[in-house]
Amino acid sequence: MKNTKAHEESSCSVDLIKEKITNQENEEISRNDLPSDESSSQNDLLGKDSLSPSGFESFGFSKELLKTIEGKGYKEPSPIQKAAIPELMLGRDLVGQAQTGTGKTAAFALPLLERLKKENHNPQVLVLTPTRELAMQVAESFRAYGAGHSHFKVLAVYGGADFRSQINALKRGVDVIVGTPGRVMDHMRQKTLNTSGLSCLVLDEADEMLRMGFIDDVEWILSQLPTERQLVLFSATMPSEIRRLSKRYLNDPAEITIKSKAQDARLIKQRFIIIKNSYKLEALKRVLEAINDEGVIIFVRTKVITLTVAETLEASGYEVAVLNGDIPQNQRERTIERLRKGSINILVATDVAARGLDVERIGLVVNYDMPFDSEAYVHRIGRTGRAGRNGEAVLFVNPRERHFLGTLERTVGQPIEQMDIPNNASINENRINKLQKRLLEEAKKEREHDEETTLLKKLIKQAGEELNINPEQVALAAISLAIGSNPLLVKEDENWLKQCSQNHRREDRSSSRRRNDRNSNPPENNMERFRVGVGHRDRVKPGNLVGAIANETGLKGKMIGRIQIFDSYSLIDLPKGMPENIFQDLKRLKVMNRELQINRYK
């Protein structure tokens, strides 16, 4: 998908890296109610696995739809499709926890298309999405899946697009509307969208809508719909507000959870460092020093980089092995065995060479280069945290790649936190901790050979007497021997670290308006972030917002923090602890002729 227009509100899904469902084994289904015995036995008669009918025929789809699906090249329904389609074909409400890339669009679009009533000329299905990109994408999927259905019409409605042409299209008649909440509400208020025939509402990426402050809007839309309707809710994560929403509005829904590798990835502590390519090698050495770990895999993009990285680390005294496409299979196996046994600690690998690698003692994965797509990211970080162990992953992101972070976060369903390149102090702290641990472990051990112990004790005594030094001084000498020739503490010049982070802060600011607001800096400590329902489309300027809010609340203009204006809304940082009555007044306050509808932004 291409970003055709620089448009702030939309940037979060513009960068979606398309994920194909190629590995369905990665996913497990759990469902509160499985198919009845009757349907199972029927499937058995057909010679099919009772829980996972193969192909799409078993759903009872029309010939036209089956042909379209075949034309798309889909051979097997994905796990979410297997679980959701039979329920939706029956008209049941459904709540599904699934990420992008699981085939969830087809999971609802295919059965809803099949259930459309031909004689109805008003919209029958409404899909709400958090962003206009997703709206366009879902509408496109409907269009493609509905290619064999005669006269089928789908329309995407979202802010920033021409209102008039949307009204005209609505007048001509559409079956399915896919839209962002703001614009859908506008059409409902203006009565340009007739909701009387709506029989199904889908909330796609409900958690994203919550994060973007759309939940009140969604509830308003829900309150306007016919009471007899099917409700379908998909969400990558299930925060309590989404659970509340589904409890409140859904009627005995089928519950489906697609547990993907991406979700397992949540057990892994994931962080990123913004860094220019030219500083990566230095930063890598610092990360390895600061994150105390036994087994490490460093992922890079090309064979050449595997060698550069390995050579640099070897020069710094690390034992490193390389895994790339040039390494013959038998050597590859030997390398993995050495890593498993701990005779090497660090592996530098390309994605393809490390496919399927399963070594329990990997505690850290460094994504030295950005993965090609989010599937590769999930695979890479899945090399750690194995067999229930804790794992950590660090991702190097050069400033131009920053916009991919949102996609990765959406895939793994959790934020990836920013970290600084470790400075001397944190490296030294780690070195001391490591030394202490080694010392304590050694001191606790009982020496197996009494003879050796007697000899060593004699040695200590002799050294003390000969040099006239106390046992502490002898212990210090012994520890120095153990440390080796390198100094215990690093004192390297670290000015470049400061320069690095300053540069990135500057780049952050200049690019923040192009990026999704979720990725921007959080509000300062004493401030809280609010979302208001006016944006560029209302031609609002920061001054309008400051003026109106200052007037209403009595706050001095300078106490109003950062303001970010997007197409249909804006984010404003205000001092924490706003009294409830002022909050309520602000909700009704009009700026540029539109109610602020202020909400806390989570």
Instruction: Please tell me what DSSP assigns to residue 278.
Output: G
Which of 105/367 has CB closer to ligand AMP?
Answer: 105
Number of residues counted as binding ligand AMP (CB under 6 A): 16
With CB under 6 A as the contact rule, the residue among 10, 43, 97, 102 that binds ligand AMP is 102
Which of 102/263 has CB closer to ligand AMP?
Answer: 102
Which of 100/516 has CB closer to ligand AMP?
Answer: 100
Contact by Cβ (8 Å): 478, 456: no
Which of 16/416 has CB closer to ligand AMP?
Answer: 16
With CB under 6 A as the contact rule, the residue among 53, 86, 101, 385 that binds ligand AMP is 101
Which of 81/129 has CB closer to ligand AMP?
Answer: 81
Work out whether 21 is an interface residue with ligand AMP (CB under 6 A): yes
Maximum distance among all Cα pairs of the chain, rounded to whole angstroms:
105
Residues 6+ apart with CB under 8 A from 374: 17, 19, 101, 262, 407, 408, 410, 411, 412
Work out whether 130 is an interface residue with ligand AMP (CB under 6 A): no
Looking at residues 79 to 98 of the shown chain, list those that interact with ligand AMP (rule: CB under 6 A). Answer: 81
Work out whether 5 is an interface residue with ligand AMP (CB under 6 A): no
Minimum Å gap between C-beta 77 and ligand AMP is 5
Q: Is 126 helix (H, G, I), strand (E, B) or coil?
A: strand
Contact by Cβ (8 Å): 84, 94: yes
Work out whether 20 is an interface residue with ligand AMP (CB under 6 A): yes
Minimum Å gap between C-beta 108 and ligand AMP is 9
Which of 516/597 has CB closer to ligand AMP?
Answer: 516
Structure tokens at 223: 């309150």
**Candidates 3-11, 16-24, 258-266, 307-315; binding stretch for ligand AMP (CB under 6 A):** 16-24
Work out whether 213 is an interface residue with ligand AMP (CB under 6 A): no
| Residue 130 Cα to chain centre, angstroms | 15
Instruction: Indicate the residue type of 12.
Output: C
Work out whether 74 is an interface residue with ligand AMP (CB under 6 A): yes
Contact by Cβ (8 Å): 35, 59: no
Minimum Å gap between C-beta 204 and ligand AMP is 9
Work out whether 106 is an interface residue with ligand AMP (CB under 6 A): yes
Minimum Å gap between C-beta 105 and ligand AMP is 3
With CB under 6 A as the contact rule, the residue among 26, 78, 306, 335 that binds ligand AMP is 78
CA dist 393 → 128, 336, 380, 384, 416 (Å): 34, 19, 9, 8, 10
**Candidates 60-68, 75-83, 219-227, 230-238; binding stretch for ligand AMP (CB under 6 A):** 75-83
3-state secondary structure 140-180: HHHHHHCCCCCCCCEEEECCCCCHHHHHHHHHHCCCEEEEC
Work out whether 104 is an interface residue with ligand AMP (CB under 6 A): yes
Work out whether 105 is an interface residue with ligand AMP (CB under 6 A): yes
End-to-end CA distance of the chain: give it in Å, rounded: 28
3-state secondary structure 474-525: HHHHHHHHHHCCCCCCCCCCCHHHHHHHHHHHHHHHHHCCCCCHHHCCCCCC
Work out whether 199 is an interface residue with ligand AMP (CB under 6 A): no
What gap in Å lies between CA 142 and CA 154, rounded to an integer?
Answer: 7
**Going along 42-179, which residue ranges are E strands?**
94-97, 125-128, 154-157, 176-179
Which of 104/132 has CB closer to ligand AMP?
Answer: 104
Looking at residues 294 to 313 of the shown chain, list those that interact with ligand AMP (rule: CB under 6 A). Answer: none
Minimum Å gap between C-beta 107 and ligand AMP is 7
**Candidates 102-110, 389-397, 425-433, 532-540; binding stretch for ligand AMP (CB under 6 A):** 102-110
Sheet holding 599-600, edge to edge: 563-565, 570-575, 527-532, 599-600
b/e string for 466-505 if b means 16 or more Cβ within 10 A?
eeeeeeeebeeeeeeeeeeeeeeebeeebeebeebeeebe
Chain length of the chain: 602
Instruction: Please tell me what DSSP assigns to residue 558.
Output: G
Work out whether 146 is an interface residue with ligand AMP (CB under 6 A): no
CA dist 162 → 167, 169, 353, 441, 442 (Å): 9, 11, 49, 70, 73
CA dist 124 → 43, 164, 173, 193 (Å): 32, 21, 11, 11
Which of 56/530 has CB closer to ligand AMP?
Answer: 56
**Candidates 77-85, 369-377, 427-435, 593-601; binding stretch for ligand AMP (CB under 6 A):** 77-85
**Candidates 103-111, 178-186, 284-292, 563-571; binding stretch for ligand AMP (CB under 6 A):** 103-111
Which of 53/422 has CB closer to ligand AMP?
Answer: 53
185-192 long-range contacts, CB within 8 A, separation 24+: 185/217, 185/220, 185/221, 187/157, 188/221, 188/224, 192/166, 192/167
Work out whether 58 is an interface residue with ligand AMP (CB under 6 A): no
Minimum Å gap between C-beta 100 and ligand AMP is 5
Strand pairing class (125-128; 94-97): unpaired
Looking at residues 167 to 196 of the shown chain, list those that interact with ligand AMP (rule: CB under 6 A). Answer: none
Which of 100/124 has CB closer to ligand AMP?
Answer: 100
Which of 101/159 has CB closer to ligand AMP?
Answer: 101
Which of 411/597 has CB closer to ligand AMP?
Answer: 411
With CB under 6 A as the contact rule, the residue among 77, 182, 413, 533 that binds ligand AMP is 77
With CB under 6 A as the contact rule, the residue among 10, 11, 13, 100 that binds ligand AMP is 100
Minimum Å gap between C-beta 568 and ligand AMP is 24
Minimum Å gap between C-beta 74 and ligand AMP is 4
Which of 70/337 has CB closer to ligand AMP?
Answer: 70
Which of 236/349 has CB closer to ligand AMP?
Answer: 236
Which of 84/268 has CB closer to ligand AMP?
Answer: 84
CA dist 139 → 14, 65, 124, 201, 349 (Å): 15, 17, 14, 14, 40
Class of residue 465 by CB neighbours under 10 A (exposed 0-12, middle 13-18, buried 19+) = exposed
Instruction: Please tell me what DSSP assigns to residue 391.
Output: E
Residues that bind ligand AMP (CB under 6 A): 18-21, 74, 76-78, 81, 100-106
